[in-house]
Structure 1
Amino acid sequence: MDLQGIGAVVAAGAALVSVLVGHRHVKAAIQTAEATYRSAVDAARTQGLNEHNQWRRTVRREAYAALLQAVLNHTDHAGKVFSQGAEDPRRAQDVFAASEPLATDMSHKKFVVRLEGPDEVSTAAQALIAAAEELMDVCRVWAVSQLARSLLDDRAAVYPQEVERVRDITAAFRVEGYWSLIGTPQMPDEANAMLGELRPLMRRIDVSLAYMGYLCTSQSATAYGDAGHALNSAIGEFITEARMALDEEA
């Protein structure tokens, strides 16, 4: 081979080496780019997941707080119903009627919490609503029973004997628990006889027999205190479960 041929071979070899080296550089650059891309994707995925978790935690926290506020609004009004029963029982039913939108709002907030979960918080929310509704029921029974007493007091001057007998019968029904047995086979003959006497007495003094149910099952201030204690316990349990759920997402 002459010198020209040898030079061509050497040049070709050098070119091949250059290509191979360049290929390695390109491959390394591609691998570096791929690693950088994967790292960026992982970082974006992690950031997105963190942002989603933070958003979900915020949504849940707002739902929990909204339910607590709705419960407090409802139970604060229950206190007004109770007070109205003592101050002016004739307006108690109107005050109670004003609680209906608050009860609806409370129920709506409960379902939002049930949707958001988790199950432990949802269960605590249902117990909380039940305690709030029980408090309102106690207050309403108290207020209407006070109205019934007020109506009897009004009639006492004109119908003293009839009113006294009504009071005796309702007291007996309350002590013996007869009112809850009306319409059942467990209702004793003695109670049926008193109920038969009570109906014409109530018509005579012009007071609805429906009020007598509240006299016979009248709630006391003690019942109000017990219901308030149960509500506070339910609030505490709900807050505990809510905090645990939020801490798990922090």
Structure 2
Amino acid sequence: MDLSGIGAIAAAAAATISVPATLMVGRWQIRSALDTAERAHEAALATVQATAASTHDQWRRSVRRDAFVQFVLRATEVAWLTVPSDPGTTAEVVKAAEAAVEEALHQVRAAYYIVRLESPELAHTASRLLEAVQRSAAADWRWAAYRRAMGVVELLEAEAGTRFDDVHEALRRLFWAADADADDRQHDRHGEVSNARNDAQQELLALDQLTDDQISTLVNMQTSPVDLIDLTDAVDEAREEFLRAAHSELNDSAPTSGASQTSS
């Protein structure tokens, strides 16, 4: 075989060997491109998921913060409302004021349940604030009614030009009898309390201008007095406790720096 024939055979052989090599290189290139594309897709998906999670967490935190703020505001609004204590206040004005307190209490209860729904962890501290607000509002309501009734007695005294000592003494005896009954666990003083109650009622019944409700209010205040200062302090303490708990929860749920970063 001459040199030209040998060259032709060698060229053909080289071409035959280069075809599989070219195919191998192409496959590697395609696989590398696919791997790169897959990693890019995974990185993009992770970024989207992290961003979505961060956005959702921020939204939930904002919802909780708004719920906390509304609850505290509603609780504070109840404390701002007052029921008239002037004996000259008309029944319509008193009823309107009492209705406003009831509506405010309804609003704070609704806000309380939203807090429980959004943050069950704060249910205990929120419940303490709600109960303190309700007790304080009830005490304010009773005290206003008592002052209106006692105001009528004072007006009658002013008209008569004298102090009704027998009335005040009967009420004072009832108060001390009820107070002693509450403190003395070894002796049954219910009989003393009952007698003192009857005496106070008889003295008040002698004042024809007093209504039955006013007499009941004056008597019941002696057997179940209210301490407005302690109740107000209890509201303030419960509100501060709730604010601390809410602040702590919002800080714990705040996203940390780098939380949305993903590894490449």
Specify which structure has the higher proportion of helix. Answer: 1
Larger Rg: 1 or 2? Answer: 2
Residues 1-250 of structure 1 mapped to structure 2, 5 A cutoff: 3=6, 4-77=8-81, 80-81=82-83, 84-85=84-85, 88=88, 91-92=93-94, 94-119=96-121, 121-154=122-155, 164-177=165-178, 186=188, 188-199=190-201, 202-203=204-205, 205=208, 206-208=210-212, 209-211=215-217, 212-219=219-226, 223-250=227-254
User: What is the rounded CA distance, in whole Å, between the counterparts of 1:75 and 1:18 in structure 2?
Assistant: 86
- Distance (Å, rounded) in 1 between the aligned partners of 2:181 and 2:85: 23
Instruction: Give 3-state SS (helix, strand or coil) of 2:131's partner.
Output: helix
TM-score w.r.t. structure 2 length? 0.77
Identity, % of aligned pairs? Answer: 19
- Which residue does the alignment assign to 2:259? none
CA distance change for structure 1 residues 25 and 134 in 2, over 3 Å: closer, same or farther?
same
The SS at the match of 2:85 is helix
Flag the 1:227–1:191 CA change in 2: closer, same or farther, 3 A: closer
Alpha-carbon distance between aligned partners in 2 of 1:89 and 1:178, rounded to the nearest angstrom: 31
**What whole-Å deviation, never above 9, does each CA across 1:85-134 have from its counterpart, x for those lacking one?**
25856654542232111100000001101111151x33222111222222
2: distance between equivalents of 1:42 and 1:26?
A: 24
Where do 5+ consecutive residues of structure 2 fail to align? Answer: 255-264
Question: How large is the RMSD of aligned CA atoms in angstroms?
Answer: 3.0
Report the number of matched residues: 237
In the TM superposition, what is the alpha-carbon distance from 1:51 to its structure 2 partner? 0.5
Contact 2:116 2:123 in 1 (8 A): yes
TM-score, normalization: structure 1?
A: 0.81
Change (3 A) 1:93 1:12: same
* Equivalent residues of 1:85, 1:146 under 8 A apart: yes
Q: Matched residues in 2 for 1:144 and 1:175: separation? A: 21
Question: How far does residue 17 in structure 1 lie from its aligned partner after superposition?
Answer: 0.5
Distance 1:128 1:150 in 2: 32
